[in-house]
């Protein structure tokens, strides 16, 4: 049939099949701003306006649009200047999204912008609650929704003709603490620390400004670009829905791939018959384990050598979890590929499965990895289902326990949760004109992917090119070489381009997730509240493959146990950390933002609260008394370093005391904690309020290992091309690196054209993980910029000397796009570039630099939570989350606060709602959004962010990491708030109504969880 639709004001006719979805029609027609994150209407990414009303195009037939009008993001507005042509410019909604920092990965932005357009068309003056309501049904995994909501309110004001001042002029709360110690118990004036009360009365969930509070405990150097709320360098392309992502690209003759998955948790393939599938018209290839070279590898995207076992094959004759790979298909269409899967006949010999990690360690348990090719790493023992084992003993732990007046011991359980980036895993592979394999992938680790795939594909790395485009969120899930090999094998088999995209269900059943763990803690404490020994045992479930098994579990101890070193009288820490990481027949775990640390801190910070409460100590003072401090040695630094040689490391900066102090003031801790009146909710006797805290730390990069590099060259007009292998996955790393480079070169961020990343063109970078990009790749870029600055100064000095009094390069200063002599004369950077490229002593001004750090300076934070608990239903509503973070100097307060806001909401899911649930056959029973509960815009609590700016001496601009630490403290702070509200301890998350209700009933019956 044929339909006629007006798309973005243009009348178009399309031949369609009656079953064609509107989403597919629009994307095939080149409207790539219409995104795709599920197939059942549960993510909202595919929203478009049909006759002005938002609809989900993935669940709408194209035929329904016949004779009607559609608006996609491409029709909203565009770049105002396109050469000699002027356009109508960006829509005020798009402008506001750019200005407020509402765009992180940007995958959700087209849907939000269109929903906002529909709202403002019918209601030009919406309340915040109405904006949030309009956003319901559209998920964002990055922002925490605060800035997108603010963007709409800002756009609405502008469209009504009201003043919306530039973000830089927004009142910023900069606090310089008074000299000398402030007693923790002294309440600070909250109005100076938290934003002004929101206008518009009760019911508002966020404040009306987007910049965070900044506390400056020490002077920070003057900078012009670093520290400013610059717009993201990729914001314009993302807010216009440009084809910036992996899948926004089509090649002639492209095939569509699908994977046949195991329906059994553990089995051998006795017979597989693909003849019918191969014979199906339109099928180009069907591959089984019999067709591929048998190469053992690890999918973990880590540096060489990978610190974990090699236990994976592209295809194997054995399946180890429901969802494991059985066969690959490539066909002319997705529908044919799916049909072909149904025609593959497989005969399995089912093997006994083991789903519980405790059972996996028992003698006689089924062995999951019995393949002879298995390569162990440091403690792995497949005969005992052990992927990794850690035994760390620091100082006289047993002596510490002997000295203790009290010993507190408890077990904590944390769930398996999924990264849930809105863009699923997607890859396109093809041979280029030189028979080199091009892999266009949504990956956090393009260089590791090339290295890891080379032997698997039997290609040398030089014949592989990996291109990373914009990434629609990763959160560690794309630090995995997960599906690139599948498309590549099919391209090798067929000679044709192949596209493979995981469905949302496959993300849950066949991608990676956070390691579920059981953590047993034992802590020795003196009567005065001094911790004298600390011990943790972790049983971690890596699922069917050991990707990141060792390093995630190592981090659980290395970061969470390090916060409380239990120093002895000689200054030695007393910490014991043991971990067993075991295989089970469940989907593999892997890297997930926080990388083992959220698990550790859930246990540690609930445990600390229990100790403080049991001993009648103030929870804030107890923590700070025992916490790691500036000038002390990192207690694990001599004991462990991700399976490599550890080296001692001093913690130079620690703003934790200020984080606790100012976070407490922001949240009103001193007025609420221990105040019985505040705990009651007037008129609602079934509700109780509580307040909780958690202190946390992370790391910044992996010392002596993580390497980043940058190449920088100057153009004729004084602009610069910055090529970095770093992988911005929506965090804004391209922007903050450009800010640092612009600071050194005395130019504007818009003069830095950032390109990341392509293994053919950009220098090596280990990729985006371990909170390292701004610190490692940023330092490399700063070093390259410093070299370029020296070259500019040489040329400028020559030019200025030629025109007047002699001046030396060392006297030149770069600022405002000019090179300045001390006497006030100057030349523009454009003059320098033209002289160097065209006029005299011709050479390209350019430099390359790289950086590896000898240290991993930890960021610190205090996380506060307020919650209301319904004692009749067990329902928990988190009302407010406030995080005070010492991440060193903040390069961009907009992007950094966006990281904290979004991280807190991801972590809130971990605390109260997210959990992958399995049945007795190892099948995920909730592999879709909805049953797997992610917070929506109208459900999130009020958020507050404070940055305590220390100046880390090991970085040129004093920064530490901010990306991962927001994941660490929310769950324990919420559980501590629940205890504060109703007096029961939860030792397992998420804190679902059922778990809370059960704990309340047990407490009523006199069980162990009670306040008593």
- Binding residues for ligand FES, rule: CB under 6 A, are 36-38, 41-46, 56, 58, 104-108, 140-143, 422, 473, 730
Nearer to ligand FES among residue 76 and residue 660 (C-beta): 76
Nearer to ligand FES among residue 105 and residue 319 (C-beta): 105
- Beta strands per DSSP E along 139-249: 174-175, 213-215
Nearer to ligand FES among residue 144 and residue 858 (C-beta): 144
> 597-615 vs 970-982: helix axis angle to the nearest 10?
30
Nearer to ligand FES among residue 404 and residue 768 (C-beta): 768
Buried-exposed string 526-560: b where 16+ CB fall within 10 A, e elsewhere: eeebbbbbbbbbbbbbbbbbbbbbbbbbbbbbbbb
Compute the chain's Rg from CA coordinates: 28
Smallest gap from Cβ 104 to ligand FES, in A, equals 4
* One-character DSSP codes across 665-721: HHHTHHHHTT-HHHHB-TT-TTEEEEEEEEEEE--SS-TTT-EEEEEEEE-TTS-EE
Smallest gap from Cβ 147 to ligand FES, in A, equals 9
Sheet holding 687-697, edge to edge: 174-175, 213-215, 942-948, 876-886, 860-870, 687-697
Smallest gap from Cβ 893 to ligand FES, in A, equals 18
Nearer to ligand FES among residue 132 and residue 672 (C-beta): 132
3-class secondary-structure state, position 48: strand
Q: What residues form DSSP beta bridges with 435?
A: none
Specify the pairing of strand 81-82 against strand 85-86. Answer: antiparallel
Smallest gap from Cβ 35 to ligand FES, in A, equals 7
Nearer to ligand FES among residue 72 and residue 534 (C-beta): 72
Smallest gap from Cβ 42 to ligand FES, in A, equals 6
What token pair was written down for 419? 């990264």
Nearer to ligand FES among residue 57 and residue 856 (C-beta): 57
Smallest gap from Cβ 904 to ligand FES, in A, equals 15
Q: Which residues contact 243 (CB under 8 A, 6 or more apart)?
A: 32, 249
Smallest gap from Cβ 301 to ligand FES, in A, equals 20
Cα 723 to chain center, whole Å? 22
Smallest gap from Cβ 967 to ligand FES, in A, equals 16
Smallest gap from Cβ 778 to ligand FES, in A, equals 22
Nearer to ligand FES among residue 56 and residue 999 (C-beta): 56
Smallest gap from Cβ 46 to ligand FES, in A, equals 3
Smallest gap from Cβ 738 to ligand FES, in A, equals 19
Sheet holding 517-525, edge to edge: 386-394, 575-583, 531-543, 517-525, 406-414
Nearer to ligand FES among residue 45 and residue 562 (C-beta): 45
Q: Which helix (H) or strand (E) holds 850?
A: strand 846-852
Q: In terms of DSSP H, where are the helices of 514-655?
A: 549-560, 597-615, 619-626
Smallest gap from Cβ 107 to ligand FES, in A, equals 5
Left if phi > 0, otherwise alpha if psi is -120 to 50, otherwise beta: which for 916?
Answer: beta
Smallest gap from Cβ 112 to ligand FES, in A, equals 8
- Other Cβ atoms less than 10 A from the Cβ of 82: the count is 9
Nearer to ligand FES among residue 106 and residue 858 (C-beta): 106
Nearer to ligand FES among residue 120 and residue 422 (C-beta): 422
Give the Cα separation of 43 and 112 in Å (integer).
12
Nearer to ligand FES among residue 503 and residue 976 (C-beta): 503
What token pair was written down for 333? 């269409």
Do 441 and 467 meet the contact criterion of CB atoms below 8 Å apart? yes
Q: What are the C-alpha distances in Å from 164 to residues 89, 92, 318, 536, 873?
A: 18, 11, 62, 52, 44
Give the Cα separation of 443 and 428 in Å (integer).
12
Nearer to ligand FES among residue 29 and residue 367 (C-beta): 29
Give the Cα separation of 271 and 60 in Å (integer).
41
Do 102 and 82 meet the contact criterion of CB atoms below 8 Å apart? no
Do 272 and 326 meet the contact criterion of CB atoms below 8 Å apart? yes
3-class secondary-structure state, position 988: strand
Smallest gap from Cβ 110 to ligand FES, in A, equals 10
Nearer to ligand FES among residue 638 and residue 928 (C-beta): 928
Q: Which residue is nearest to ligand FES (CB)?
A: 58
Smallest gap from Cβ 902 to ligand FES, in A, equals 8
- Other Cβ atoms less than 10 A from the Cβ of 598: the count is 32
Smallest gap from Cβ 26 to ligand FES, in A, equals 11
Q: Which helix (H) or strand (E) holds 942?
A: strand 942-948
Smallest gap from Cβ 898 to ligand FES, in A, equals 9
* One-character DSSP codes across 435-453: SPEEEEE--S-HHHHHHHH
Give the Cα separation of 926 and 924 in Å (integer).
6
Nearer to ligand FES among residue 43 and residue 943 (C-beta): 43
Q: Return the percent helix, strand and coil in the chain, to nearest 5.
A: 30, 25, 45
Smallest gap from Cβ 918 to ligand FES, in A, equals 24
Nearer to ligand FES among residue 55 and residue 404 (C-beta): 55
Compute the CA torsion angle 493, 494, 499, 504 (nearest 10 deg).
-50
Nearer to ligand FES among residue 146 and residue 456 (C-beta): 146
Cα distance from N-terminal residue to C-terminal residue, the chain: 72
Which among 821, 828, 843, 839 is positioned nearest to 751, based on CA atoms? Answer: 828
Nearer to ligand FES among residue 234 and residue 751 (C-beta): 234
DSSP, res 837? I
């Amino acid at each position: 049939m044929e339909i006629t639709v007006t798309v973005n004001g243009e009348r178009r006719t399309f031949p369609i099949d009656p079953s064609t979805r509107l989403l597919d029609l629009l994307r095939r027609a080149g409207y790539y701003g219409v995104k795709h994150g599920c197939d059942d209407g549960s993510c909202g990414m595919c929203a478009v306006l049909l006759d002005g009303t938002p609809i989900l195009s993935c669940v709408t037939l194209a035929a329904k649009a016949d004779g009607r009008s559609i608006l996609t993001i491409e029709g909203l507005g565009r770049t105002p200047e396109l050469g000699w042509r002027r356009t109508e410019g960006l829509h005020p909604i798009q402008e506001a999204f750019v200005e407020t920092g509402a765009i992180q990965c940007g995958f959700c932005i087209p849907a939000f912008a269109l929903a906002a357009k529909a709202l403002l068309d019918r209601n030009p003056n919406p309340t915040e609650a109405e904006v949030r309501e309009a956003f319901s049904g559209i998920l964002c995994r990055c922002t925490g929704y605060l800035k997108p909501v603010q963007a709409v309110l800002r756009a609405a004001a502008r469209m009504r003709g009201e003043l919306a001042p530039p973000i830089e002029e927004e009142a910023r709360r900069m606090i310089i603490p008074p000299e000398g110690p402030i007693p923790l118990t002294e309440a600070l004036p909250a109005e100076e620390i938290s934003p002004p009360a929101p206008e518009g009365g009760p019911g508002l969930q966020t404040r009306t400004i987007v910049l965070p509070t900044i506390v400056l405990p020490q002077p920070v150097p003057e900078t012009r670009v670093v520290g400013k709320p610059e717009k993201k360098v990729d914001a314009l392309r993302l807010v216009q829905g440009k084809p910036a992502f992996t899948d926004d690209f089509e090649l002639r003759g492209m095939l569509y791939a699908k994977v046949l998955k195991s329906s059994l948790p553990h089995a051998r393939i006795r017979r597989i018959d693909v003849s019918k599938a191969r014979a199906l018209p339109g099928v180009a290839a069907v591959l089984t384990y019999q067709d591929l070279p048998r190469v053992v590898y690890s999918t973990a995207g880590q540096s060489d050598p990978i610190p974990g076992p090699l236990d994976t094959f592209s295809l194997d004759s054995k399946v180890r979890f429901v969802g494991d790979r059985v066969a690959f298909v490539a066909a002319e269409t997705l529908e044919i590929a799916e049909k072909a899967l149904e025609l593959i006949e497989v005969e399995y010999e089912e093997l006994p499965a083991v789903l519980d990690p405790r059972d996996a360690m028992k003698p006689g348990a089924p062995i999951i990895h019995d393949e002879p090719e298995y390569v162990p790493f440091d403690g792995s023992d497949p005969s005992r289902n052990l992927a990794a084992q850690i035994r760390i003993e620091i100082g006289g732990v047993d002596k510490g326990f002997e000295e203790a007046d009290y010993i507190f011991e408890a077990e904590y359980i944390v769930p398996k949760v999924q990264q849930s980036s809105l863009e699923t895993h997607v890859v396109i592979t093809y041979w280029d004109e030189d028979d080199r394999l091009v892999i266009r992938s949504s990956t956090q680790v393009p260089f590791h992917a090339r290295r890891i795939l080379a032997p698997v594909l039997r290609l040398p790395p030089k014949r592989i090119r990996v291109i990373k485009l914009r990434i629609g969120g990763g959160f560690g899930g794309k630090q995995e070489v997960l599906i690139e090999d599948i498309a590549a094998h099919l391209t090798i088999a067929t000679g044709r381009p192949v596209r493979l995209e995981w469905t949302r269900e496959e993300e849950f059943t066949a991608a990676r997730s956070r390691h579920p763990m059981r953590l047993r803690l034992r802590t020795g404490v003196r009567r005065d509240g001094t911790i004298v020994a600390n011990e943790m045992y972790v049983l971690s479930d890596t699922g069917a493959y050991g990707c990141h098994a060792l390093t995630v579990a190592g981090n659980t101890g290395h970061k969470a146990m390090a916060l409380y070193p239990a120093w002895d009288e000689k200054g030695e820490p007393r910490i014991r950390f043991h971990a067993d990481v075991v295989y089970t027949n469940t989907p593999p775990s892997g890297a997930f933002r926080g990388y083992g640390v959220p698990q550790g801190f859930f246990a540690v910070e609930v445990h600390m609260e229990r100790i403080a409460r049991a001993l009648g100590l103030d929870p804030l003072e107890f923590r700070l008394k025992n916490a790691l401090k500036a000038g002390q040695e990192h207690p694990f630094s001599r004991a462990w370093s991700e399976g490599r040689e550890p080296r001692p490391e001093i913690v130079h900066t620690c703003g934790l005391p200020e984080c606790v102090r100012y976070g407490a003031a922001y949240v009103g801790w001193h007025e609420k904690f221990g105040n019985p009146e505040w705990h009651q909710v007037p008129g609602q006797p079934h509700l109780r309020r509580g307040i909780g805290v958690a202190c946390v730390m992370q790391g910044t990069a992996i010392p002596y290992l993580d390497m980043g590099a940058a190449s920088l060259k100057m153009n004729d007009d004084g602009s610069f091309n910055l090529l970095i292998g770093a992988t911005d996955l929506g965090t804004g790393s391209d922007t903050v690196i450009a800010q640092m480079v612009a600071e050194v070169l005395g130019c504007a961020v818009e003069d830095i054209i950032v390109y990341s990343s392509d293994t053919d063109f950009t220098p090596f970078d280990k990729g985006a993980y371990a909170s390292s990009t701004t610190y490692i790749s940023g330092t490399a870029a700063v070093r390259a910029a410093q070299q370029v600055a020296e070259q500019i100064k040489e040329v400028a000095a020559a030019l200025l000397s030629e025109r007047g009094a002699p001046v030396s390069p060392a006297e030149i200063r770069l600022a405002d796009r000019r090179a300045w002599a001390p006497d006030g004369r100057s030349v523009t950077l454009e003059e320098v570039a033209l002289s160097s490229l065209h006029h005299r002593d011709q050479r390209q001004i350019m430099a390359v630099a790289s950086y590896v750090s000898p240290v991993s300076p930890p960021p610190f934070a205090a996380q506060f939570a307020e919650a209301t608990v319904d004692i009749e239903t067990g329902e928990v509503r988190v009302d407010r989350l406030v995080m005070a973070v010492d991440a060193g100097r903040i390069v961009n307060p907009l992007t950094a606060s966006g990281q904290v806001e979004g991280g807190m909401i991801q972590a809130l899911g971990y605390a109260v709602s997210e959990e992958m649930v399995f049945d007795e056959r190892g099948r995920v029973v909730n592999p879709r959004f909805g049953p797997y509960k992610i917070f929506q815009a109208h459900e999130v609590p009020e958020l507050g962010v404070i940055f305590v700016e220390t100046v880390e001496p090991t970085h040129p601009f004093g920064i530490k990491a901010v990306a991962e630490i927001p994941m660490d403290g929310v769950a324990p702070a919420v559980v501590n708030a629940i205890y504060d509200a109703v007096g029961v301890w939860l030792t397992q998350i998420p804190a679902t109504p059922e778990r809370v209700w059960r704990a309340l009933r047990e407490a009523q019956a006199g069980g162990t969880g009670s306040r008593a």
